[in-house]
Structure 1
Amino acid sequence: MSTTVSSRRPAIRRRQLLPLWLGLPAIAIVLVTQGYPLVTQFFMSFQKFGLAQQFGQPAEWIALDNYVRVLSDPVFWGVMIRSIVFCAIVATLTMVLGVLAALLMTKIPTPARVLLQVAMLLAWAMPHLSSLTVWQWLFNTRNGVVNTVLVALGFEQFHNYAWLLEPGSFFVIAGAVVIWGSVPLVMFMVYASVTQLDESVMEAAHLDGAGPFRRFFSVTMPMIAPVLFLVGMLQIIWDLRVFTQISVLQDAGGVTSETNVLGTYIYEIGLGQGNYGQGSAVAMIMLVLTLALTAGYVRQLLKNATQA
């Protein structure tokens, strides 16, 4: 009997280690492609780069000077606050619209639901640059569709109105672009969660006299809360690191100094100005902020795995 048990232990151990062995290639790829740039960027944030470094001279080690300059720069704090506010507004609207779209799909007939799913999938799969081309055409100053329609409705102040020159309207367009591309993923994940709910619980709440809103906030929301938390955390992380949408709209006419977020600010001072040290310092600060948010996401994943 003891011989049989001892012979089974290596087989059990091999089965337990199998997921780790299968994941090693992916882990190795991540370490090579992400680890080296991250470590290099970390050391660059403590160095000073100038004209001499373009001719092969080693960068000067200046310890925490880059961080001191960045953290004492009011421009950086303006960009930081702008990024956080933009992220909070866009992520909130994305979650609200995504949840509403998911609930709508549970109420409409199958043909309409399939059509909506296909439309959302196409919106989510479309490359950012392609969608931005359409958005620029819509808000073009001279012959944009939005300006043309508004003028036709009697709003003459929108004749040749430059949407991207004003920071307020710039971020309205940028937020619309980000939300338009992000809502489909939220919708699909929430819809998948809602369709797995126990109908008997909803029927019991209905028999107890709970109306639609009461059933949603008292029954549906608590049951899909883990999914909402995970999707919301991912949305916050993505919106905090947004770059392509802001950069393309800046190139189309936005005022860079008034519309920079963290991603474009790092690009401007790092690659645009050649100040790789300060650019790396800002990038590391952004990484710390992202990791703080990711920590909550990882804790929730581990909690769900433990409960499963």
Structure 2
Amino acid sequence: MSATLTEPDAAPRTPNTKPPRPPKGSAAGPRKKKPLPWAPWLLLGPSIALLGVMVVYPTIVMFVNSFTNLEIKNKMLGTAPDFVGFDNYIEVFTESDFPAVLARSLGLMVVLTVLITAIGMVVALLMTKLSKGWRLAVSIGLMLAWAMPPLSATVVFGWIFDTDYGLVNWALNTITGTQDFRGHSWLIDPWSFMMVLVIIVVWQSVPFAAVTFYAGLGQVPDEVLEASSLDGAGPWQRFRLIVLPYMRGVLTAVLVLETIWNLRIFTQVYALQQQGGLASETNILPTYLFRQGLGEFGVTAAIGVFMVILLMAISYFNVRSSLKDEAEL
């Protein structure tokens, strides 16, 4: 026989009765602190102020100047420029070689992005097949190439393709057994100039893509790859149907970043032009903007506004893809 012990003074409790709340000021439990709404803005304040001074203000000034005929004489005489509307934009696209420079820049961007992405993916796949020691050695080599300053890399490659004492001309003369490449200039011709430029940029940009892809390959489950192999899927089928879908986010980020970076390269092009290239036939958007900026600031500002719009359009697809991937998770 069992007995039930109850509190003598406690009122009977029904299933819907809520437990009594403890009185205010009692030590029933820790009081939750309300988040400070201004704390995130306080932490972001220095960065926002820096972006405002270094990015927002110059962009606004550039946008305003693009609708004026501001020139160097206005700076020297202290006179205000005149408002010319869209005349600078019309002049850029009709009365200058800007369309040719734009086409050259876009073509170079596409070639560089495709080569960097493809070679980076191949290197990342090969790194997964290496032993730990060799993988470490390859990673160190990639980091050394990536860490080299662009100007230093361009100077070194300029020596390699030197007209009289370059390694490339010596090797080609040795292989062919002739002296046909003695004194041959690789920078005087626009096509060979672009070939040298592509080699330099790809050599320095592949490490970032390879290391990023190698990290992304770690997201692919080994069980899925083993199951597909047992089902008879070949290497290309496993890569196309399993690896690429898992790496879609990483691949999109690398493609967009490389596209933006390849559209903004300046140091390598300018340094090669100083070593013997023809600036008028090898200019791309950044170098064209730099050389144009020495005189007519209004026209230069119009070119800069166009570049900003172009880069923002490319970045829009990156942000849109990232938000879409987050929504699907």
TM (normalized to structure 2)? 0.87
Alpha-carbon displacement from aligned partner over 1:124-145 (angstroms, at most 9, x marks no partner)? 1111111111111101111011
Give 1:253's aligned residue.
276
1:1-308 aligned within 5 A: 8=32, 11=34, 13-14=35-36, 18-50=39-71, 51-73=73-95, 75-154=97-176, 156-271=179-294, 274-307=295-328
Counterpart Cα distance in 2 of 1:300 and 1:275? 39
Which range moves more in the overlay, 61-70 or 150-159? 150-159
Size of the alignment, in residue pairs? 301
* Structure 1 gap ranges (5+): none
Q: Is the 8 A contact 2:188 2:277 kept in 1?
A: yes
In structure 2, do the counterparts of structure 1 residues 113 and 156 end up closer, same or farther at CA, with 3 Å as the change threshold? same
Tell which deviates more after alignment, 216-225 or 40-49. Answer: 40-49
Deviation sequence 1:168-187 (CA, Å, 0-9, x none): 00001111111111111111
Q: Which residue of 1 aligns with 2:16?
A: none
Secondary structure in 2 aligned to 1:150? helix
The one-letter code matched in structure 2 to 1:178 is V
| Residues 248-273 of structure 1: per-residue CA shift (max 9 Å, x gap) | 111111111110111111111112xx
Question: One-letter code of the match for 1:277?
Answer: G
Distance of 2:247 and 2:313 partners within structure 1: 23
* C-alpha deviation, 1:73, in angstroms: 3.1
Distance 1:232 1:27 in 2: 27
AA of the residue aligned to 2:64: F
Could you tell me whether the CA contact under 8 Å between 1:141 and 1:160 is conserved in 2? yes
- The 1-side partners of 2:118 and 2:153 are apart by 22
| 1:111-163 per-position Cα deviation (integer Å, ceiling 9, x unaligned) | 11111100100111111111111111101111011111111112533211110
The letter for the 1-side match of 2:218 is: T
The amino acid across from 1:298 in the alignment is: V
- Secondary structure of residue in 2 paired with 1:165: coil
Q: Displacement of 1:86 after TM fit?
A: 0.4
Give the drift of 1:17.
6.4
Gaps of 5+ in 2: 1-20
CA RMSD of aligned residues (A): 1.9
| AA aligned opposite 1:261 | I
Q: Highest CA radius of gyration, 1 or 2? A: 2
Aligned AA for 1:242? I
Tell me the distance in 1 between the aligned counterparts of 2:74 and 2:57: 24
Aligned residue for 1:112, secondary structure, equals helix
- Counting aligned pairs with the same residue, the percent is 35
Residues 155, 271 of structure 2: 8 Å contact kept: no
> Is the Cα contact below 8 Å between 2:186 and 2:192 reproduced in 1?
yes
Q: 1:18 to 1:157 in 2, by over 3 A?
A: farther
* Counterpart residue type for residue 88 of structure 1: V
Question: 8 Å contact 2:219–2:246 — kept in the other structure?
Answer: no
